[in-house]
Amino acid sequence: MSAIDDLAGELSKLPGIGRKTALRLTYFLLKQRPEQSRRLADALTTLAERVRPCAECFNLTEEERCSVCRDQRRDRGVICAVEEASDIGAIERTGEYRGLYHVLGGRLSPLDGVMPEDLTIDRLIARVRGGEVREVILATNPSLEGEATALYVQRQLSGQADGVAVTRIARGLPVGGDLEYADGVTIAQALSARREM
Amino acid sequence: MEPAGPPAAPARVVLRRLAVRDFRNLQRVELAVPPDGLTVVGENGHGKTNLLESVYYLELLRSVRGARDADLVRFGAPGFHVAAEVDLPGEHRVASRAVGVGFERAGKRKRVRIDGAEVPRLSDALGALPSVIFSPGDVVLVAGSPSERRRYLDVALALTSRRYLAALQAYRGALVRRNAALRDAARTGRGEERATVWEPALAEHGAVLWTERRAWVRRHAGAFAALCAAIGERAPMRLRYATALEVDGEDSVEGARAALGAALAAKRPLDLRRGLTHAGPHRDDLDLALGGRELRLFGSAGQQRTAAIALRMLEAATLRDHVGSAPLFLLDDPFAELDARRAHAILALLGDAGLGQVLLVVPRASDVPEELTRLPRASIRDGVLDA
Ligand SMILES: [Zn+2]
């Protein structure tokens, strides 16, 4: 296999990149100055060698523990459990949350063979048993599988530590969305999660 | 005074143009359909049923015969495309709509466009061409397995209720996941909790299916008996929703949800042994009986056909109530195995209810019932339509 085929083959394994795009990217890189390709290669190597899961919460980090876990100003009494490390960025951007995280590493998906033991649920239970935690917020996606995962985690946590509240993020209409264009399921959920004003 | 407008046309869905490419044996069909409809004459195996299947594809976005999309592509072609221009009578004026569906064999991709814009989710385009199809194969609705009748209910209700459609998709999703989790629990011997976490979703969405199906059957049971009698059945025909679920008091989604949740828990030990979910609306049935005897087992061929046609007429009525106008009637040689008296009775009933535009396909010109001889004719041979 030639070097061109090698790179195109690797690129086409990336999400959203087909064979044609992979070849186009490969020829684009060939036309650039060699330093450009070297910088890309270095960045990829660094990524693979340095980035790893946080020993405490499984967020991605280049240290032993991630920047959130190391931040002494964060509230160590609250843990927000998410499916993927990429979900943390979305919550951090709001600037509203000051607690810690726990990355479950996916969601229950029996059709893909993803069972509870494939997620980091045991580690979450161990953290909660540690004694410092007052609340666990389950922030898995509001999908069929995300809901089942939240329910599973909630049931595993109940009875593990007294006085720990387990909460679920609310589902509902997106802000800036138009009621007219929301789908029926979302409207029904928003209605059932309504609150007094 | 305002000048009087043209006389109001009867409210019905009108298919004005149809274009089919590479669908089964239809290489290329371009057809302008007259307002009242069209009769297509063609021998069996030449593509007349395929033509109706292609039109109905715009309604269901899948094959009415249950074929896989890849198997609908004409041999050697990369994909198929079906497009139509449709008039839908609205409250104030007739709205025209262009609907197109394309399927690509290589990417297994299906694309729906309505008025040129791609529809992001297929379920949003379901029911784009309100139509109902009658064919001799419909007898399986009565003589076939319970799954045929559940499918009938699911199609009739999903096409006319967004809530039902959403619940059906979620229910099916939760069901396959619970079954996979049950099998995993049985294999690994690990806790059953992995199966139980799917039960709230099954109870929530299954309760919607159950209550909507029950309400539909209650609403239409009388009409079913009346239709069968009018077609010529002497003994009383009965339509009931057969279910193992018992709900206290009046039917309500909340009550059904609680009952279904309890039934799932009660059957769980059995489910864990068999790796299958035994409680829920996916096990229910439509109970069709003649004078108290199950029509599926004891009905004559003629009685079963009568009941099947009555079910299709109820489907048409359900669509009419939902759309506000008569759906397109796709008639696939529907009177082939009925005696002339029953055929006349059926056409009279369809006429009374306000027959919509008709696309009738028959093997021979002599098979066209008297009531429909006024329709313009076309013929089909080897997949080529001669209009
Ligand atoms: Zn961390």
Q: Is A182 on the interface with B (CB under 8 A)?
A: no
Contact A147 B201 (CB under 8 A): yes
pLDDT of residue A10: 93
Chain A residue with minimum CA distance to B197: A148
The more confidently predicted of residues A180 and B387 is: B387
Q: Is B194 on the interface with A (CB under 8 A)?
A: yes
B104 has a pLDDT exceeding 50: yes
Question: How large is the average pLDDT for residues B105-131?
Answer: 92
- Give B321-333 pLDDT, tens digit per residue: 999 999 999 999 9
Asked if residue A116 lies in contact with residue A152, where contact means CB atoms within 8 angstroms, the answer is: yes
The more confidently predicted of residues B339 and A67 is: A67
pLDDT of residue A180: 67
A175 has a pLDDT exceeding 70: no
Q: Is A109 on the interface with B (CB under 8 A)?
A: yes
Rounded Cα–Cα distance for residues B262 and B10 (Å) = 50
pLDDT of residue B250: 81
B251 has a pLDDT exceeding 90: no
Among A109, A116, A185, beta carbon nearest to B166: A185
Asked if residue B21 lies in contact with residue B383, where contact means CB atoms within 8 angstroms, the answer is: no
Nearest to A53 by CA among A133, A156, A123: A123
The DSSP code for B73 is: B
Rounded Cα–Cα distance for residues A172 and B166 (Å) = 16
Q: Is B107 on the interface with A (CB under 8 A)?
A: no
pLDDT of residue B94: 82
Q: Which residues lie near ion ligand 1 (Cβ < 5 Å)?
A: A 54, 56-57, 59, 66, 69
Apex CA A12: angle with CA A54 and CA A38, to 5°?
Answer: 70
| Least Cα separation, residue B180 to chain A (angstroms) | 6
- Return phi, psi of residue B241, to 5°: -95, 115
pLDDT of residue A159: 78
- Give B365-374 pLDDT, tens digit per residue: 988 888 889 9
pLDDT of residue B1: 45
Question: Taking the domains of chain B in order of start, what are their residue ranges?
Answer: 9-130+325-387, 138-324
| Least Cα separation, residue B255 to chain A (angstroms) | 17
Query: ipTM score here?
Result: 0.80
Q: Is B172 on the interface with A (CB under 8 A)?
A: no
* Residue appearing with tokens 């909630």: A154
Contact A156 B200 (CB under 8 A): no
Among B163, B177, B193, beta carbon nearest to A110: B177
Rounded Cα–Cα distance for residues A88 and A53 (Å) = 13
A108 has a pLDDT exceeding 90: yes
Cα radius of gyration rounded to whole Å, chain B: 22
- Give B188-234 pLDDT, tens digit per residue: 887 789 999 999 999 999 999 999 999 999 999 999 999 999 999 88
The third-level CATH classification (topology) of the domain covering A53-168 is Dna Topoisomerase Vi A Subunit; Chain: A, domain 2 (3.40.1360)
Helix or strand holding residue B110 (H, E) = strand B109-114
- Give B30-88 pLDDT, tens digit per residue: 999 999 999 999 999 999 999 999 999 999 999 998 899 999 999 999 999 999 999 99
The third-level CATH classification (topology) of the domain covering B9-130+325-387 is Rossmann fold (3.40.50)
E strands present in chain A: 52-53, 60-61, 75-82, 99-103, 135-138, 165-168
Q: What is the mean pLDDT of chain B?
A: 92
B92 has a pLDDT exceeding 90: no
Q: Between A and B, how many residue pairs show a Cβ–Cβ distance under 8 A?
A: 51
Asked if the B138-324 domain carries CATH number 1.20.1050.90, the reply is yes
Question: Taking the domains of chain A in order of start, what are their residue ranges?
Answer: 53-168
- Give A116-174 pLDDT, tens digit per residue: 999 999 999 999 998 899 999 999 998 999 999 999 999 999 877 778 999 998 877 67
Instruction: Show the tokens assigned to A107.
Output: 């969601």
Among B162, B178, B193, beta carbon nearest to A155: B193
